[in-house]
């Protein structure tokens, strides 16, 4: 604590990490996926609410269920990736607050009364958890290919019962499926031969102000 990590770790996590679209024929084990979750779960979230839910699609059958929802340019890279994660969020995340944030019982009521606050909180924090997933994956030697080119409604219907009566969903705001897709991320061991040159980034002065 209080010390930067080694420069090689910064290379792995940031400077040399790329977005991959082609994959080596090397599988990702379930143990690696469990290790991935055991790192990313430490991501900070508002009220420790951890609204993200992760569906790891590994089988051909699961990938075929995803295929119709993908933008055409994302089909090949996704169907060939060893794993595709749906990073989703649960709009009933507040039901876990008595366990996750026991010091403030009032929080549960606050969320129960405000679907707008629920949506904003769930989106913001599941995006952060998704970013932690990318960093944790890189720390474990995996490569990532995040994607937002897909049909949300199709994925929510296929994987999260959107539009269908949902057992236990008796909340007035969310009568149907209560888990919604945020973004997708392919995971595997990338093929560096297929990478294009790195795109530029904004400089400190373009993106930041010191006040
Ligand atoms: C939330 C998100 C959505 C993205 N959506 C797509 C996508 O639908 N298809 C795609 O090919 N790349 C997608 N990308 C990849 C970006 O274009 C890529 O990360 C960016 O150009 C940086 O590339 P680099 O990591 O190799 O430097 C997405 C990235 C993020 C983080």
148 C-alpha to ligand 1 centroid (Å): 8
Summarised one tens digit per residue, pLDDT across range 99-134 is 999 999 999 999 998 999 999 999 999 999 999 999
* Long-range contacts (CB closer than 8 Å, 24 or more residues apart) made by 38-43: 39/132, 39/136, 39/139, 39/140, 40/129, 40/132, 40/133, 40/135, 40/136, 42/132, 43/128, 43/129, 43/132
Residue 156 backbone class (left: φ over 0; alpha: ψ -120 to 50; beta: rest): alpha
Which pLDDT value is given to residue 177? 84
Q: Percent of the chain scored above 70 by pLDDT? A: 94
* Long-range contacts (CB closer than 8 Å, 24 or more residues apart) made by 79-82: 80/22, 80/23, 81/23, 81/145, 81/186, 81/187, 81/188, 82/23, 82/26, 82/27, 82/28, 82/58, 82/187, 82/188, 82/189
Mutational test site, ligand 1, from 13, 14, 16, 19, max ligand atoms within 8 Å of CB: 19
Nearest CA to 170 out of 179, 178, 158 is that of: 178
Mean pLDDT of 23-32: 98
21 C-alpha to ligand 1 centroid (Å): 10
Q: Which atom of ligand 1 is nearest to the CA of 183?
A: 1
For 86, other C-beta atoms within 10 Å of its C-beta total 24
Summarised one tens digit per residue, pLDDT across range 78-97 is 999 999 999 999 999 999 99
* Residue 84 contacts residue 185 (beta carbons within 8 Å): yes
**Does 115 sit in the ligand 1 pocket, CB within 6 Å?**
no
Chain-wide mean pLDDT for the chain? 94
Can you tell me which residue has the tokens 């059958």? 61
Which pLDDT value is given to residue 173? 44
Instruction: Please tell me what DSSP assigns to residue 150.
Output: B
Rounded to 5 degrees, φ, ψ at 190 are -70, 155
Which pLDDT value is given to residue 172? 45
Summarised one tens digit per residue, pLDDT across range 33-65 is 999 999 999 999 999 999 999 999 999 999 999
Which pLDDT value is given to residue 166? 53
Please spell the DSSP secondary structure of 43-106, one letter per residue.
---GGG---EEEEEE-SHHHHHHHGGGB-HHHHHHHHSSSEEEEEEEETTGGGGHHHH-TT-TH
> Residue 1's pLDDT band (boundaries 50, 70, 90)?
confident
Which pLDDT value is given to residue 171? 47
Which pLDDT value is given to residue 167? 54
Mean pLDDT of 129-147: 98
Q: Which atom of ligand 1 is nearest to the CA of 71?
A: 8
Mutational test site, ligand 1, from 148, 152, 181, 190, max ligand atoms within 8 Å of CB: 148
**Does 125 sit in the ligand 1 pocket, CB within 6 Å?**
no
Which pLDDT value is given to residue 93? 97
111 C-alpha to ligand 1 centroid (Å): 32
Can you tell me which residue has the tokens 């093929």? 191
Nearest CA to 75 out of 62, 83, 57, 63 is that of: 63
The structure's pTM equals 0.94
Mean pLDDT of 182-211: 98
Mean pLDDT of 162-181: 65
């Amino acid at each position: 604590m209080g010390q930067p990590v080694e420069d090689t770790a910064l290379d792995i996590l940031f400077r040399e990490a790329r977005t991959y679209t082609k994959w080596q024929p090397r599988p990702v084990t379930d143990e690696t996926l469990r290790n991935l979750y055991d790192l990313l779960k430490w991501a900070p979230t508002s009220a420790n609410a951890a609204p993200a839910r992760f569906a790891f699609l590994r089988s051909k059958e699961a990938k075929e269920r995803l295929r119709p929802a993908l933008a055409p340019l994302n089909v090949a890279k996704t169907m060939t990736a060893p794993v595709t994660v749906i990073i989703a969020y649960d709009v009933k995340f507040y039901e876990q607050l008595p366990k996750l944030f026991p010091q403030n019982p009032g929080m549960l009521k606050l969320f129960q009364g405000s679907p707008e606050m629920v949506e904003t909180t769930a989106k913001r924090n599941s995006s952060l958890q998704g970013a932690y997933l990318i960093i944790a994956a890189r720390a474990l030697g995996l490569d990532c290919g995040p994607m937002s080119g897909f049909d949300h409604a199709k994925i929510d219907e296929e994987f999260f019962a959107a539009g269908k009566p949902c057992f236990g969903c008796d909340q007035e705001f969310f009568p149907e499926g209560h888990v919604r897709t945020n973004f997708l991320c392919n995971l595997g061991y990338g093929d560096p031969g297929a990478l294009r040159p790195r795109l530029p980034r904004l400089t400190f002065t373009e993106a930041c102000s010191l006040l």
